[in-house]
Structure 1
């Protein structure tokens, strides 16, 4: 699989194993320099990048070897047919194909923070109890999606609705490219269905807003002055069970200059909750500044568009027919149950492909 011809080899050529190996060799050479660890933060970032590259190359090499083995088995089957072996080869080939498709998706990640963990927040919008129920449905959907990808999840804040559902929730989704995947979900999500909370069982339209920001950790400097913070504590509330500490350990932090409010009630101690809340606040302040810069650049170009969540990006219709449609890409599916169970990848892929196409078009 060295020549770049045929559909089966295009993926390896797109990944460019040879170039990745050269990058690894260069990074490994840097680690041998006497002053490599003089800047601990830079060194750690360097090592993380090196580890990620090694994992990528090892994965593609493993898949390449599997595919070569399967090709050899296929040739043997051509000479001596064996139904059981043929079925096994087919199953293995399908498994390799699915894994390659997931890896192909990573080739579309080009954003500065795409590799980072994601902090995802869901807020019930207009629609009353139905909207709060819809917000909880979205929370469940994203948790199931994360589980499919073996991403780690942590619920940091959870505000229950008065009758059903949730008013809001904030979760961290940890894993490589978590933010790269989930930035496609930013915006207003709409649900159309027969309301289970309406005695007349009429059709209702509900809205929920999804926010996604990268977990920037301590790699980007964001100045937060103590005098700009209003911090208070309160008793934790939530879904209950052992995951919520029923003491005055929950922390709410309001950043006075911007009005941004962050809460965390999931950790066992007030100190831990405060640390998590500060980390989320730092990420949100960075995201706010990034948006301001983007808006200013767009304004100077004469293309200023208000960054707002007022426009729905996707609609789930459960009545009078079933369909999920993304209004940005045009991608749609009638498998609403699969979608709500966490099958988001086709929508994510369509969004990333659309962005890649727009980037290429803009560069021409």
Structure 2
């Protein structure tokens, strides 16, 4: 086998090893066997909600394990074909098998995506918060643009979006807003979007048409279900009620139905105003707080492995994860992975998969390297 092909095979095998480790292969196989057994139980659908969760988890694990096993089979088949072709002097067989390996390497990033969505809460629904940075109307309008971008992305992937809270800007945009994205692996896809997003454009609010730089932050955390236990002492929390505000219609109320809960030990604050009932808003806010505390625990584990600073940071220069330039040229660039595109309108309309896939791959590689260094 030629050196070039040996290098390709080695690269593919390293990727397979990384994916196996990230999936916690033996544990994932055992869990899939358990889920397959549960799926055959006649009493499974006695509890439809639990059954749906089990079937969703089963489908996700089966797809992730299947993707790795398929990659292993195709790689080994191509290697065997090369060996057979070389032994029998069939140059065309060797050439075809080598091309298969080259194609496998080219498709590797796409094949890895499903397996990358294997974190503890990756299969869960997700909360996504957007907060405008300093800069008044400019940043508030940018925050609304980001909210629209993520809503479009979710809709394109068959995910549903529910507005949880919105604090409207004085002239345009939003000061802050929270949505819940519901659907398979919503958190797994969105989790790398946390951070500061920077916009450069000609201001539509400036009569002199000057170029402006605006910042807004995005914060993503998973919805926690009944299978995840998060203890929250009510004595550690401050609960405030206030009159809802927003874009109008069902989001406006004439009573103090909106609820904000602040967890005093951590300073985490959540708010909900999408229901007319204070009781329902309070229940949703408690759910959001449990989710934020769970996300904080996940981040602590990740930081312990990667020894990095938290993603959340000041909303300003030096902390952005992605830059969106509309003037004087067109460019969206992720500052973590280097992925960039000049099709800015497509990105703002929700075309985010390339950025998400690269960030997921980078995170998994970083986690695996950090764990290896510790070992």
Q: TM-score, normalised by structure 1?
A: 0.73
Say yes or no: does 1:195 pair with 2:203.
Answer: yes
Residues 130, 294 of structure 1: alpha-carbon distance in 2 compared, 3 angstrom cutoff:
same
Say yes or no: does 1:326 pair with 2:326.
Answer: no
Determine if contact 2:63/2:114 at 8 Å carries over to the other structure: no
Structure 1 unaligned runs (5+)? Answer: 1-9, 60-100
Q: Which moved more, 1:26-35 or 1:113-122?
A: 26-35
Q: Alpha-carbon deviation of 1:249?
A: 1.6
Cα RMSD, aligned residues only: 3.8
Secondary structure in 2 matching 1:127 = coil
Q: Deviations over 1:17-40 (max 9, x none)?
A: xx9999756533356789999xx9
The match for 2:286 among 274, 278, 281 is 278
Q: Alpha-carbon deviation of 1:156?
A: 0.4
Determine if contact 1:244/1:267 at 8 Å carries over to the other structure: no
Residues 246, 152 of structure 1: alpha-carbon distance in 2 compared, 3 angstrom cutoff:
farther
Partner Cα distance (1:131, 1:255) in 2? 27
Say yes or no: does 1:263 pair with 2:271.
Answer: yes
Residues 253, 147 of structure 1: alpha-carbon distance in 2 compared, 3 angstrom cutoff:
same
Q: Name the structure 2 match of 1:172.
A: 180
Q: Alpha-carbon deviation of 1:288?
A: 2.5
| Aligned positions of 1:168-317 closer than 5 A | 168-295=176-303, 297=304, 303=307, 305=309, 307-310=311-314, 311-317=319-325
Determine if contact 1:188/1:312 at 8 Å carries over to the other structure: yes
Determine if contact 2:116/2:361 at 8 Å carries over to the other structure: yes
Q: Deviations over 1:31-53 (max 9, x none)?
A: 6789999xx99988655533555
Q: Which moved more, 1:211-220 or 1:315-324?
A: 211-220
Secondary structure in 1 matching 2:192 = helix
Determine if contact 1:237/1:246 at 8 Å carries over to the other structure: no
Partner Cα distance (1:336, 1:207) in 2? 17
Partner Cα distance (1:236, 1:194) in 2? 33
Secondary structure in 2 matching 1:277 = helix
Q: Alpha-carbon deviation of 1:148?
A: 0.4
Matched positions, count: 308
Q: Name the structure 2 match of 1:49.
A: 57
Structure 2 unaligned runs (5+)? Answer: 1-11, 21-25, 68-108
Q: Name the structure 2 match of 1:77.
A: none
